[in-house]
Structure 1
């Protein structure tokens, strides 16, 4: 393999004997792809310069093929081709320097050659051998005159012919390098296509406008149809319930040059539908142009398994909610007619209902529209609002809560609400509770919630600020489960509780 266009056979060295073998020589000649350089402008310029430098009316760059010479460039020669046996250049290419024939009519090798006895009536000939970097003779750069030149070439003319011959080989070498590079690229592309065709996913690409220009073999194997070209052409292959929304997402991704991901049902060759995960990413060049590369991954089994698990989870959720209702009912029945248990049963019942509310956030049920802290607080505090929208307010940031945090958060604010209803602001029609949620602090990663009770009638009962069993549970939930802290401050007309919990725990 040629490494550089500067790789030339040493001047003054005859061709390699081994590469004078015709099969070996022709193989290297083919590697140069010389036939594509016929009438090449650079080679034409070299021929013209050689003719001028040597004051010759005829000149040519000749490549010797198996049966005949091929003119890559020529000046003053009318013949398209001649038989190889009568070619002067077929002799010249076997030398180490320029082959100079002052008068062909006096040369035993050529005096009866048709090119001498007939047109173009060659008398003087000088040809510099064109030898590949490995040493294979390929042809010659020659100048021809119809008049004898007993003195041959001057030293300057010989040197010029040699330099121009080297320039010809550099041009041929450049062509060869291009062919080898293209061949390597083609081989790698073919290998890549074979690899892409062997993967189980459907792989595809699109141009900057979202026009699809490549699909691997898996597309037709699975769908039995030719691939789509435009985004709208996907409609027969995408389930009617999924197509419009997915098309809008794709158009938005193309418009904004952002990654696309969606799940939808793909129509198979047998008419069945299978869930696939579609992922497409843009590849942006330095010039700003984009191409899109994507895959369709079969997730039908996973999707159906998830549907089955969701159905099971929904059934379990329903049964757990029923358990909460049963327990509340049992407590109510057991406490009936026993006044000494009324307060305890009431507290326990509201705690269980709070757990039921928290459960809705752990496993959302039909009708639940929020999975945020504000939604949880409003649900928990709704029973204490007494129909007065200003009695209980929740303001501030709307923070999403994770399943693991829902239960401790529900218990914390249930305890605060219960305590307030017994001893604090919620025990009075004039009292108010304001809950303010501050977004997580970037410095310490803590979410801050302020619970502020105002009685409207003067100081609250000391019991609202005391730390009993409920308060100890509250502290345990905040400090241990949510890795936070709280501070209680009594005021002239109420109480303020500052709660700080780790934001990552709230989202967990």
Structure 2
């Protein structure tokens, strides 16, 4: 048994660390959450049974009192520190045993000994943290003097004390984790509330459980009123079903969510809003949360619509200019019959320019052509339409399709209009059985368009270069930076046009 010390001898120098450090260590434990928990109560029940005593306690010695986190055979939840036996026991490195408190100078006058409790026997195993800071003791108490503990009882009390410390350590980690989570959540909410966008968050199944302050400022609805599925009711009735379908698709696939819809503001006005959301995944790839934003784009949307109206009006006027030019050519040719063929060719070329412009100009949903306005296949099919018979296609477009825009559409239209016109006059399309194939393929950083005529009358190379050939060179070489190679094969003309990929669109 450890040597006793009188109260005068047991001063602060006996502590493994000063009192301030010990109190700070106690603050790291959420003691109220552990008081009377089933795990610690099981320990005191077993300690009392093991040592054959009516009382067992898990005592934490605080600044002015000792708190009993678990107790067996004892009603009070705390007593004064100045009467605490455990305040002495926790300073020891081994179990402190008091066989008869009336004979111990430290405790003979203690109110717990002389008073109603009538404490006589005490045995306490110290509760000491890994860093040496003492917290209290696991003790057993009897109202009758005893010689001490058996070796088995002493061993059992040490094991039970170690179990108590393990539970306290787990609780300390839990408290730290809770504090870290609380701090992280506070920082997120602070950041979210300072953002100009509306911020929201959902559970993995899409249940909305958080909106930042900006959402409630914009919508004017009470906090919590749009949780769950109620968010969709804030949208314009015409947008609700579409928004629900897009959101459900993201939930089903994990793909990012993005949509434009009209959101009702606090004054009842519906304003165009861009909604976006991304999933947050854990280490296994499972979605644990969705975070999204709503951005007011009403002014930008209106400006875009106004620009579209202006662009369409401008395109309409340009198309009218093509029509006026064609009319002027026809009108001029009537007074000069000798120029009829020239006028016809010029009018056809103006018409081809009009088709190219109509293909790449801004369109509304009603005026947009069936083919994609960024499709090379679509441009060629529109361009060749006047040369196709009603009962089948004589000009076939096959191979790869690529993106184009107004940068390349006009020169490509002029180039292939010229080839189609010449084929109709002199080549394969001049014969009822003749056909033309346009094969498209990519070759490293170039796009190769292979024009091949078959089934026409035998041809021979022209003796001199005409305006049509010069137009082809102008379009492919000068405007697009490509090359043109002709092969006057006996079976039909073959023209290979190579265009740099970078010349096909401005992007």
Q: TM-score, normalised by structure 2?
A: 0.83
User: What's 2:436 paired with?
Assistant: 434
CA distance in 1, matches of 2:77, 2:115: 15
The worse-fitting range, judged by mean Cα deviation, of 52-61 and 32-41 is 52-61
After superposition, the Cα gap between the structure-2 partners of 1:118 and 1:359, relative to the gap in structure 1 and judged at 3 Å, is same
After superposition, the Cα gap between the structure-2 partners of 1:78 and 1:53, relative to the gap in structure 1 and judged at 3 Å, is closer
User: What's 2:297 paired with?
Assistant: 299
User: What's 2:360 paired with?
Assistant: 362
1:115 equivalent in alignment to 2:112: yes
CA distance in 2, matches of 1:396, 1:96: 87
- Kindly indicate whether the alpha-carbon contact (under 8 Å) linking 2:65 and 2:79 is maintained by their aligned counterparts in 1: yes
After superposition, the Cα gap between the structure-2 partners of 1:37 and 1:386, relative to the gap in structure 1 and judged at 3 Å, is closer
Alignment of 1:200-239 (within 5 A): 200-226=196-222, 227-231=225-229, 233-239=230-236
CA distance in 2, matches of 1:486, 1:222: 60
CA distance in 1, matches of 2:78, 2:395: 106
User: What's 1:196 paired with?
Assistant: 192
User: What's 1:460 paired with?
Assistant: 459
Alignment of 1:34-53 (within 5 A): 34-40=31-37, 43-44=40-41, 47=44
- Kindly indicate whether the alpha-carbon contact (under 8 Å) linking 1:431 and 1:453 is maintained by their aligned counterparts in 2: no
Shift, 1:58, TM fit:
3.8
Equivalent residue for 1:278, pick from 275, 278, 281: 275
CA distance in 2, matches of 1:14, 1:169: 21
CA distance in 2, matches of 1:47, 1:381: 95
Output one character per residue of 1:78-104: Cα deviation in whole Å (capped at 9) or x when no partner: 323353154322444466765443311
CA distance in 1, matches of 2:39, 2:444: 71
Q: RMSD between aligned alpha carbons?
A: 3.5
- Kindly indicate whether the alpha-carbon contact (under 8 Å) linking 2:308 and 2:362 is maintained by their aligned counterparts in 1: no
Output one character per residue of 1:101-120: Cα deviation in whole Å (capped at 9) or x when no partner: 33111234433545334665
User: What's 1:265 paired with?
Assistant: 262
1:402 equivalent in alignment to 2:402: no
User: What's 1:385 paired with?
Assistant: 388
1:255 equivalent in alignment to 2:258: no
The structure whose RCO (Cα within 8 Å, separation 6+) is larger is 1
Stretches of structure 2 that go unaligned for 5 or more consecutive residues are: 1-11
Q: TM-score, normalised by structure 1?
A: 0.82
Output one character per residue of 1:273-300: Cα deviation in whole Å (capped at 9) or x when no partner: 2111111222343163453221111222
- Kindly indicate whether the alpha-carbon contact (under 8 Å) linking 1:92 and 1:128 is maintained by their aligned counterparts in 2: yes
After superposition, the Cα gap between the structure-2 partners of 1:225 and 1:39, relative to the gap in structure 1 and judged at 3 Å, is same
CA distance in 2, matches of 1:342, 1:179: 95
Q: Does the residue aligned with 1:474 lie in a helix, a strand or coil? A: helix
After superposition, the Cα gap between the structure-2 partners of 1:466 and 1:255, relative to the gap in structure 1 and judged at 3 Å, is farther
CA distance in 1, matches of 2:340, 2:113: 132
User: What's 1:7 paired with?
Assistant: none
After superposition, the Cα gap between the structure-2 partners of 1:242 and 1:507, relative to the gap in structure 1 and judged at 3 Å, is farther
After superposition, the Cα gap between the structure-2 partners of 1:380 and 1:271, relative to the gap in structure 1 and judged at 3 Å, is same
The worse-fitting range, judged by mean Cα deviation, of 205-214 and 310-319 is 205-214
CA distance in 2, matches of 1:505, 1:253: 36
Shift, 1:251, TM fit:
2.0
CA distance in 2, matches of 1:17, 1:253: 57
- Kindly indicate whether the alpha-carbon contact (under 8 Å) linking 1:15 and 1:135 is maintained by their aligned counterparts in 2: no
Question: How many residue pairs were aligned?
Answer: 486
Shift, 1:202, TM fit:
1.3
- Kindly indicate whether the alpha-carbon contact (under 8 Å) linking 1:26 and 1:66 is maintained by their aligned counterparts in 2: yes
Output one character per residue of 1:199-253: Cα deviation in whole Å (capped at 9) or x when no partner: 111111222332222221221110112453455x344322233333232222222
- Kindly indicate whether the alpha-carbon contact (under 8 Å) linking 2:232 and 2:243 is maintained by their aligned counterparts in 1: no
CA distance in 1, matches of 2:312, 2:137: 86
CA distance in 2, matches of 1:45, 1:247: 53
Q: Does the residue aligned with 1:80 lie in a helix, a strand or coil? A: coil
User: What's 1:126 paired with?
Assistant: 123
1:144 equivalent in alignment to 2:141: yes
Shift, 1:479, TM fit:
4.0
- Kindly indicate whether the alpha-carbon contact (under 8 Å) linking 2:67 and 2:79 is maintained by their aligned counterparts in 1: no
After superposition, the Cα gap between the structure-2 partners of 1:127 and 1:239, relative to the gap in structure 1 and judged at 3 Å, is same
CA distance in 2, matches of 1:290, 1:19: 44
- Kindly indicate whether the alpha-carbon contact (under 8 Å) linking 2:232 and 2:244 is maintained by their aligned counterparts in 1: no
CA distance in 2, matches of 1:52, 1:409: 98
After superposition, the Cα gap between the structure-2 partners of 1:146 and 1:467, relative to the gap in structure 1 and judged at 3 Å, is farther
User: What's 1:327 paired with?
Assistant: 325
User: What's 1:4 paired with?
Assistant: none
Shift, 1:406, TM fit:
1.0
User: What's 1:345 paired with?
Assistant: 343
